[in-house]
Homo-oligomer: A and B are copies of this chain.
Amino acid sequence: MLPSSPPLLAFCALSFERNDRLLFERVEGAVHGGDILQVVGANGAGKTTLLRILATLLTPTQGELRWCGGLLPRARASYLAELAFLGHVPGLKPGLSPRENLRWLAGLFAQRDAIEEALAAVGLAKWFDTPCAQLSAGMQRRVALARLALTRARLWILDEPLTAIDRAGVAVVEQLFRSHLQSGGAIIFSSHQAVDLPGVKYLALTES
């Protein structure tokens, strides 16, 4: 990769104020293809808020975001085409099975057509057709993570992807991360746990 190519996502001088409280100030960072950035900080430091700003779900009070060099509110369409976001609640319909859930998501996002393999990869081979409401907390998170194996998005933004995941599951997620990074993708995620991957960069949020 040429050093001159712009980063996939760059953000600079971000600050966010809510209810007259300054949450963070002049936060900046950038991810190129192959980069993985972990947002760390104490409870309430603003990790979720930052990730939602990066996903354009919230508007920063100050600062700017650039996607492949283009200023974000304008480049939004092409940004969303290459973004996969996973929030605190993963967006699965409890009444639908994992297979059905991934299928409707596939209709909205560019996805590979390999739903069953993706579910099998996160250890849900026996659960293709059970309504998600009947899965355990960790199994539901795994369904959400299976989406990542399907998406063609280059940037993943993940809020606490390891919540409720057991040890074996963490290894699966790390494997997912690894292959995404190798294929030139980038990851920004928050977690209180460290992941076992080379080259993780950290962005620490401290109370201002």
Interface residues of A (CB under 8 A from B): 19, 41-48, 88, 123, 134-139, 141-142, 160, 163-169, 192
Contact = CB atoms under 8 A, between A and B. Distances in A.
A126 to B, nearest CB: 9
Given A43-B166, A163-B163, A164-B160, A134 B48 contact: no
13 contacts: A19-B134, A42-B169, A43-B137, A43-B138, A43-B141, A43-B142, A43-B165, A44-B136, A44-B138, A46-B136, A48-B137, A137-B160, A163-B163
Given A134-B19, A163-B164, A139 B192 contact: no
A184 to B, nearest CB: 30
Contacts of A164: 43, 160, 163, 192
A129 to B, nearest CB: 13
A46 B135 CA distance: 10
Nearest to A135: B44
Contacts of A168: 42
List of 8 A-B pairs having minimum Cβ-Cβ separation, nearest first: A43-B138, A44-B136, A44-B139, A43-B166, A42-B166, A166-B192, A43-B139, A88-B137
Nearest to A89: B137
A107 to B, nearest CB: 27
A36 B164 CA distance: 21
A16 to B, nearest CB: 13
A74 to B, nearest CB: 30
A163 B169 CA distance: 15
A48 B137 CA distance: 9
A6 to B, nearest CB: 32
B43 A136 contact: yes
Contacts of A169: 42-43
